[in-house]
Structures are given as structure tokens and as C-alpha cells.
Amino acid sequence: MDVSSPATPLSVERRKIVMQPEGGRLEMEILDVQVGSVGAGGYRTITLATSRGDVECRHYPVLNATRAALWVPGAIGGWHTPAGDLYPRLSREFLAGGIASLQVLYRQAAVLGECVLDVLAGLTYLEGEGIEAISLTGHSFGGAVVIQAGAASALTRTIVTLSTQGVGAEAVIRLPDECPILLVHGTADEILPPASSERVHARAHAPKRLVLYPDANHNLDQVAAEVHDLVRDWILQELDASAEAATPTA
């Protein structure tokens, strides 16, 4: 495993991001990028200075990586991760396979449009790092965030939602045809009923998969090991399939 430590990626500076959700237009411009060194946790801190405030990220870098996974929490924000330590655990595991990762910290947790912009800023940063294909994973409120961001980015190769909300996830119908989606929910979710994921699944185009875990709660703690394996295998499968599709044949 080779970890990169490049200087500030000039290719993403002064990049404008534009969203046009229902009811208005949102813009964000990346003004500067501050890159920290890789620490004991396997990640380096990234600060994306934007026209709407700073977006903080944890980047698990791989030298010359072209594939990456991006992770976001629910409306609680922070560095929260569902299913135990799913996000940092998979981020570290993916390094050995040449897959980088980025955890994104919301500027304004629970404000959907702003959080989607934060993810798009993270995707812009990864694109500047040479990433060509990416998986997006979001928990709860974050499910709607990654669905909307995925529909707006050409880098998206697959979406994973964990205990997603339904509000804002209607954009699933705008995902590219070649972007599979995995939806995971616990039947004992005390915050969002599994019907939320079922409705999103019904609206999504194939390929798609819905997995319901009996007696699992909103954070999926009771099935953390199963969720880890499921999400790991799904992301690897879809990113591998994307790489194969992009490889020219003789």
C-alpha cells in the first residue's frame, strides 16, 4: 500500500459547484485546499475553504488511486458512523486494495441542500486527486444526501444507503442507469421505519438491492458485522465492475 502526500491540489482550486434543487439555485466555490499529514488513524485532514464556509474531511489517500469511497453520517453530523465503526474500518481496509476514502463533515448538519454541496465539494477534491469512480454511502438523513449528490456527479458508480430517510431521496430516479443502489434497513428502526427504504427501492431503477435485518435498530448496531461484510462486498464488486467496463478491449 502506497500512501500519497502531495501538495495542495491546485486543480480543484477556484472550482464552482452549482446545484439546482426545486425552489432555487445553490452555488459553492472552492477557494483553497489545506492538506494535513497522514496520522496514526490512516487519514489526513483536509479543509476545503469555500464561498459558503469550510468543509472538513478525513482523507484516506492511496498513491495513484483512481477509485474511492465517500462516507457521510446522518443529521446528527460530526464524524458519526453507523454499524459500529463501519466508516473508518472500511476506509482502512480499502487502502490495501488501492481504494481511497473520504469522510465528509457537514457544515450545516440536517440542511439537505448545504450537505449535498459539501459532498459535491468532496467529490471535486477527489477528482482533483485523480479519482475517476466512486461509491457514496450515507446513513439516515445522509442517504438522501448521497442520492442527490450521486445524481449530480459523473463520478458516481454506486450508492449505499443505511437506514435512509425518504424525504429528499426521490432523486433516486435521476441516478444514472449504470449506478446500482444498495439499501439497508433494520426492521426495529426506532427513528425511520423500514418502509422508507422500501419506498426508495421501489422508485429506483435496476440494478438495485434491498436488505432488511430483523430486529436491528436505526444505527444497525446489532448487525454491525453483517453490515460490514455486505457493504464491503457490494462496494468492491461495483467499483471492480466499473473498472472492468472502463478497460478498453483489444
Read off the pLDDT of residues 48-85 as tens digits, 9 standing for 90 and up.
Answer: 999 999 999 999 999 999 999 999 999 999 999 999 99
| Grid cell listed for 85 | 465503526
pLDDT of residue 199: 98
For residue 196, the one-letter residue type is S
Q: Name the maximum alpha-carbon separation found in the chain.
A: 53
CA–CA gap between residue 246 and residue 231 (Å, rounded)? 22
Mean pLDDT of all residues belonging to the chain: 91
Residue position matching grid coordinates 448521497? 146
Task: Sort 122 into a burial class: Cβ within 10 Å, 0-12 / 13-18 / 19+.
Answer: buried
The class that CATH gives domain 10-244 is alpha beta
Mean pLDDT for the stretch of residues 190-196: 98
Find out whether 109 and 77 touch, Cβ atoms under 8 Å.
Answer: yes
Beta bridge pairs of residue 133: 67
Tell which residue, 128, 85, 102, 99, has the closest CA to residue 46. Answer: 102
Q: Is residue 190's pLDDT more than 90?
A: yes
pTM: 0.92
Give the whole-angstrom CA distance, residue 203 versus residue 169: 9
3-state secondary structure of 184: strand
Q: Identify the top-confidence range among 39-43, 176-180, 213-217, 245-249.
A: 213-217
Where do the domains of the chain lie?
10-244
Contact 107, 100 (CB under 8 A): no
Strand, helix or coil for residue 118: helix
SS3 of residue 164 by DSSP: coil
